[in-house]
Structure 1
């Protein structure tokens, strides 16, 4: 299993719209091959910041299967305009 971790810095004043858009977008990602689960957490200290965790069966399920899909284009349209700066995506594998 691969854990994708992303810190999402949403443009101030747009968090309500972002959360509504994410409700739509999560339906896209949850239907992708290799998808296991996801969670979106809002930061208590910095309310414009979110933590997105997505569990995938393999790295390629995310980097190829999702990112090269038509569904990803819809994901981008729904969400990418909310971020500043654009987020860095990192992948983790469980060791213990």
Structure 2
């Protein structure tokens, strides 16, 4: 399994609306091929900064199947208006889980 980590900065004052949009988009991820988990974290120090962590069975499940789907377009329609800048996305592979 790999993790998509998207660093997202939200327009000031739009935090609650952004969280609601991500909640509304959760079913899009849940039904996506190879998607196994999704969570949204908010920075304590910088409340306009979020980290979206999505678990995928493969990188291609995200980069090929999901990104080329109508559900991805709907995700961007729901959440995109709240982005202060384009999200910074990377894929992570767990190499050590100590406990």
Length-normalised TM-score, structure 1: 0.95
Residues 9-65 of structure 1 show CA distances to partners (whole Å, capped at 9, x for unaligned) of 000010111111111011111110100101101110001111111110000000011
SS in 2 for 1:84: coil
Q: 1-side partners of 2:38 and 2:84: how far apart?
A: 22
Unaligned runs of 5+ in 1: none
Unaligned runs of 5+ in 2: none
SS in 2 for 1:41: strand
Q: 2-side partners of 1:95 and 1:65: how far apart?
A: 25
* Residue matched to 1:23: 23
SS in 1 for 2:21: helix
Q: 1-side partners of 2:23 and 2:16: how far apart?
A: 11
* Residue matched to 1:7: 7
- Superposition RMSD in Å: 0.8
Aligned length: 96
Length-normalised TM-score, structure 2: 0.93
Q: Which runs of 4+ in 1 moved over 2 A?
A: none
